[in-house]
Structure 1
């Protein structure tokens, strides 16, 4: 108790500038945030420590489906059925934007999003030594990647067909690349405005909807008599709506399931996209291995000390 009192008195003396210092530190292991994260005063970075805050996406999310497959978090049980082994302690977010907001506000948080949706509110980690960039996805160096699919059912309208032709044209593929995604046809022909009219309803993945909004805006600039409505939900909802005919185009940020294609849906890959593993932008951690990510998401590693050991 006497040592604590002495420490407090010393801090008070230093705080008034007797020795010209700004303050008194409480030790090398102190945390200024109350979250269990240590601080690097020279850089402003914090070292995540203590229990990991795991953030995942909802069932039906194409990003979740691709993430658990690519990292081996989805495993087969004794009967051969695929089982999602994501830890039950994970906090579930229902969109890309909610995922980013959650991780940006949590110094011990980890999550995953579409690479094309990255901004400076969070930090993307290197995985197995490869930086999460469009260039590395295209070259194959960054392997955590998946297709962006659109799907149509029966009786596709002429205006819907024309919009899909625009997406797959040189003009549409440039919009995709300009927004941080990876084009799938570098040799596509230019698009010629068709003067079509009508309404197109597009529904599904929250990962695809931002670039789909950009594609719709560019297309309507060439064909002003067309109305395009983009409804954001998740990949499974998008596929169900396309199959039921309640939307013209469904969006899925994953491969289509056999049950979806056997039900009559016709997929078209419009882009490739990486999945970025994200942490708080002030976190000092820069890289994880695939094995470490799997351990975190299956609950094998509960603390950052466990994960980084």
Structure 2
């Protein structure tokens, strides 16, 4: 199967090189668009459905992985009632959203998953059970692969800057930042009324929450120039444990809090986010069912023709 992948990739590279040689500076924009379309069609035609699926997942501790395996039924309870992650041992593990995107974009036969708000045009998002991964479909309930973005502080914390920043996040202005960046916010939030406290806080955790948090920090510092906020991108579990031990003033998690975390932390949902199931743009698939995604990630389906035919 690896030889087939190499041959398919070599064919695409050769084809693109040939097109580049044949295109002169006098070509019009319309002909360039046509050539690009033809190239995409030929690349898709070269997709070998008998090839092995390259399964790409996130690391343990990732909130996106935790939500993904729960939503698709990949995590199940064993006879003793303990939750077991049945992700196949053949899965490649990535440690961030950006690495997930580049990995899938670089392998014709790869499948992965990312936060909807982090999705870009380097990959293709699949419909799941007939619904596209869009904010509107999450709001309507048609796209069901969604999870909360949580922030948390240690119980009893009285840091004024943390309180003021969280108040901004949950305000009309903060929730507008959330919506503008592709997530689902609270349209009924009240306008921000802050106290401009000074000082420094550390916010850390989920790499899925981090991009929108960066935008929220930027927007907040525009209204409170006395604030110094450091953002550390790790994962959801580190976000919660580091808030409990005092390393972070505010932790980020792209999942629900676990019982032991909730016992020591106060949390708020700042946004709702979808999880997009992604494939390489040369993949001929446009849609999978939830059961097919589960079959892939548990190792039941090994080649693309098992789910596409």
TM-score higher than 0.5 here? yes
Corresponding position of 1:228: 229
Of the candidates 155, 158, 161, which is equivalent to residue 156 of structure 1? 158
Corresponding position of 1:131: 132
In terms of fraction of residues, the more helix-rich structure is 2
Deviation at 1:163, TM superposition (A): 0.3
Cα distance in 1 for partners of 2:178, 2:158 equals 23
Tell whether the 8 Å contact from 1:201 to 1:249 is kept in structure 2 after alignment: yes
Alpha-carbon displacement from aligned partner over 1:153-190 (angstroms, at most 9, x marks no partner): 0323011000000000000000000000000x221111
Corresponding position of 1:16: none
Corresponding position of 1:287: 287
Deviation at 1:42, TM superposition (A): 6.8
| Runs of 4+ that moved beyond 4 A | 39-42
Cα distance in 2 for partners of 1:218, 1:178 equals 12
TM-score, length-normalised on structure 2?
A: 0.86
Deviation at 1:192, TM superposition (A): 2.7
What number of residue pairs does the alignment pair up? Answer: 276
Cα distance in 1 for partners of 2:166, 2:294 equals 37
Cα distance in 2 for partners of 1:269, 1:215 equals 14
> Equivalences for 1:203-222 in 2 at 5 Å?
203-222=204-223
Tell whether the 8 Å contact from 2:206 to 2:233 is kept in structure 1 after alignment: yes
Deviation at 1:80, TM superposition (A): 1.3
Cα distance in 2 for partners of 1:48, 1:104 equals 17
Q: CA RMSD in A?
A: 1.8
Corresponding position of 2:256: 255
1:33 to 2:16 alignment: no
Deviation at 1:79, TM superposition (A): 1.2
> Equivalences for 1:41-80 in 2 at 5 Å?
43-46=41-44, 47-49=47-49, 50-80=51-81
Corresponding position of 2:89: 88
Computing the radius of gyration from Cα coordinates, the structure with the larger value is 1
Corresponding position of 2:176: 174
Tell whether the 8 Å contact from 1:48 to 1:285 is kept in structure 2 after alignment: no
Cα distance in 2 for partners of 1:120, 1:156 equals 42
Cα distance in 2 for partners of 1:240, 1:187 equals 32
Cα distance in 1 for partners of 2:306, 2:137 equals 29
Alpha-carbon displacement from aligned partner over 1:231-267 (angstroms, at most 9, x marks no partner): 00000000000111111000000000001112x1111
Corresponding position of 1:271: 271
TM-score, length-normalised on structure 1?
A: 0.86
Cα distance in 1 for partners of 2:242, 2:108 equals 38
In structure 1, the gaps of 5 or more residues are 1-29
Tell whether the 8 Å contact from 1:48 to 1:284 is kept in structure 2 after alignment: no
Cα distance in 2 for partners of 1:149, 1:35 equals 45
Corresponding position of 2:100: 99
Deviation at 1:78, TM superposition (A): 1.6
Cα distance in 1 for partners of 2:270, 2:56 equals 28
Tell whether the 8 Å contact from 2:200 to 2:228 is kept in structure 1 after alignment: yes
